[in-house]
């Protein structure tokens, strides 16, 4: 169907061209050539803009990766000495100089009640 419509349009266009004078044909030809050049220029401009946008997208992706790396990498986790001391809190409060000759009763008194029940289950 499209082919038939195209053929009919082409036939009508040929008949119209046959009735035109040489000057009118020349003007139409020049107009068509000018339109072709304008379209070619627009196409070149669009291709340049497409390349610029692709470059910009790539640059933005790189920036996004850099920012993600800065935010979520291992290096982004900076630990202060105050934070590290929190991990040593139990060791700092523990008396390191416990005599080894403590009796079982003295150890039981030193261990909190919550731990004693677990200890008795283990024994």
Supply angle C-alpha 98, 100, 104, rounded to 5: 95
Give the tens place of pLDDT for each residue, 56-90. 999 999 999 999 988 888 776 676 766 666 666 66
DSSP assigned state of 111: S
Give the tens place of pLDDT for each residue, 7-20. 566 666 777 777 88
d(CA 43, CA 49): 10
d(CA 77, CA 71): 9
**pTM, entire model:** 0.45
What is the per-residue burial (b if ≥16 Cβ within 10 Å, else e) of 21-48? Answer: eeeeeeeeeeeeeeeeeeeeeeeeeeee
Confidence band (pLDDT; 50, 70, 90) for 102?
A: low
Q: Where are the domains of the chain?
A: 32-72
Q: What percentage of the chain has pLDDT greater than the value 90?
A: 35
Q: What pLDDT was estimated at residue 19?
A: 83
State the sign of the Cα–Cα–Cα–Cα dihedral 77, 83, 89, 92: positive
Q: What pLDDT was estimated at residue 115?
A: 60
């Amino acid at each position: 169907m499209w082919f038939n419509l195209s053929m009919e349009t082409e036939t009508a266009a040929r008949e119209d061209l046959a009735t035109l004078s040489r000057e009118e044909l020349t003007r139409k030809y020049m107009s068509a050539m000018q339109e072709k050049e304008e379209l070619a220029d627009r196409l070149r401009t669009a291709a340049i803009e497409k390349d610029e946008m692709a470059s910009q997208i790539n640059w933005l992706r790189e920036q996004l990766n850099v920012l993600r790396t800065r935010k979520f990498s291992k290096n982004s986790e900076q630990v202060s000495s105050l934070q590290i001391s929190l991990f040593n809190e139990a060791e700092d409060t523990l008396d390191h100089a416990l005599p080894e000759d403590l009796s079982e009763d003295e150890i039981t008194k030193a261990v909190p009640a919550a731990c004693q029940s677990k200890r008795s289950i283990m024994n």
